[in-house]
Chain A
Amino acid sequence: MVELVDMVLLAFMAVVAVIVVRLRNLFSVVLVSGFFSLLSASMFVVLDAVDVAFTEAAVGAGVATVIMLGTLLLTTSEEKKASGSSLGALLVVLITGAILVYGTLDMPRYGDPDAPIHHHVAPRYTHDSPREIGVPNIVTSVLASYRGYDTLGETTVIFTAGLGLLLLIGSSLRARGKKEDGR
Chain B
Amino acid sequence: MSSLLPGLYNYWIVIFLMMTGLYIVISRRNLIKKMVGLSIFQTSVFLLYISMGKITGGTAPIVAGPDTVYSNALPHVLILTAIVVGIATTALGMAIIVRIHEAYGTIEEDEILAQDLRPQ
Contact = CB atoms under 8 A, between A and B. Distances in A.
Q: Is the interface of A mostly helix, strand, loop or mixed?
A: helix
Interface of B: 6-24, 26-30, 32-33, 35-37, 39-40, 43, 46-47, 50-56, 58-64, 69-77, 79-81, 83-85, 87-92, 94-99, 101-103, 106-108, 120
Contact of B39 (A33, A74, A112, A176): A33
B58 A110 contact: no
Contacts of B13: 10-11, 13-14
Interface residues of A, number: 92
Contacts of B94: 67-68, 70-71
A97 B85 contact: no
A99 to B, nearest CB: 10
Contacts of B106: 76
A49 B79 contact: yes
Nearest to A163: B92
Nearest to B24: A21
Nearest to B32: A26
Contacts of B20: 14, 17-18, 20-21
A157 to B, nearest CB: 5
Nearest to A33: B36
Contacts of A59: 83-84, 87
B98 A165 contact: no
